Amino acid sequence: MVTLPSGLEEIIADDEDLARYLTSSSQFNATMVKPAAFLPNPKDRETSVFRHGSEPRDRLWAIGVEHAAGGRNLHGAAICKAHHVREAQLEVTADEPPPRHAAIRGWPFSESDPELQKARQKELAAVIASKAVVVHI
């Protein structure tokens, strides 16, 4: 069993919480986080998340401010379980540094039809978003 610099195990357990930080108030509403919040970055084809749940709240925001917000305001975080990602047929793997960082990988990509690729990604992002809980700052 490999232990990472953060002290976490390298393998992410199914019941581990994952936090996706929200830098725009448009990324969620009163009902849920919107699917767009979980879409991958088109450059590295990954969605950046941190291995943290809604508590302790101070540490959740400290990680977000230091490693995720890039100087922008944080509006909240969408918290889901690793198994929610895996149920969408995606992978989530540890990706340190920074500490506790992980990446959602395995998004469908198609060079020949970018819009179809996007549609597939949106469906999977919607599946994850439907399971996630928004924690507000």
Partner 1 sequence: MLEPVSIVGLSLGYAALYPYAYGSSAISSEARAVREAVSAVVESAERSQVLFGEKSVAISQIVSLAKECAETGWDGDEAAPINQAVIHTAVKFIRALPNDVPLPEFAPEPDGSISLDWIRSRNRLFSLSVGSTNRLAYAWLDGSDRGHGVAQFAGERIPPRIIEGILGIMNHGNVTLRS
Percentage helix, strand, coil, to 5, in the chain?
30, 25, 45
- The residue from 5, 13, 14, 44 that contacts partner 1 (CB under 8 A) is 44
> Any contact of residue 115 with partner 1 (CB under 8 A)?
yes
- 124 neighbors 30 (Cβ within 8 angstroms): no
What whole-number distance in Å separates Cα of residue 114 and Cα of residue 94? 27
What whole-number distance in Å separates Cα of residue 134 and Cα of residue 31? 9
> Any contact of residue 10 with partner 1 (CB under 8 A)?
no
Q: Would you give the DSSP letter of residue 12?
A: P
> Any contact of residue 66 with partner 1 (CB under 8 A)?
no
Q: Which of residues 9 and 96 has its CB atom nearest to partner 1 in the complex?
A: 96
Angstrom distances, CA of residue 133 to CA of 34, 42, 80, 129: 11, 24, 7, 8
- The residue from 19, 21, 82, 92 that contacts partner 1 (CB under 8 A) is 21
Of 73-112, binders to partner 1 (CB under 8 A) are none
> Any contact of residue 128 with partner 1 (CB under 8 A)?
no
Q: What is the CA radius of gyration of the chain?
A: 14
> Any contact of residue 127 with partner 1 (CB under 8 A)?
yes
What whole-number distance in Å separates Cα of residue 4 and Cα of residue 49? 16
- The residue from 54, 89, 110, 130 that contacts partner 1 (CB under 8 A) is 130
Q: Which of residues 9 and 65 has its CB atom nearest to partner 1 in the complex?
A: 65
The residues that touch partner 1, with contacts defined as CB under 8 A, are 21, 23-24, 26-27, 29, 31-32, 34-37, 39-44, 48, 68-72, 113-120, 122-123, 125-127, 129-130
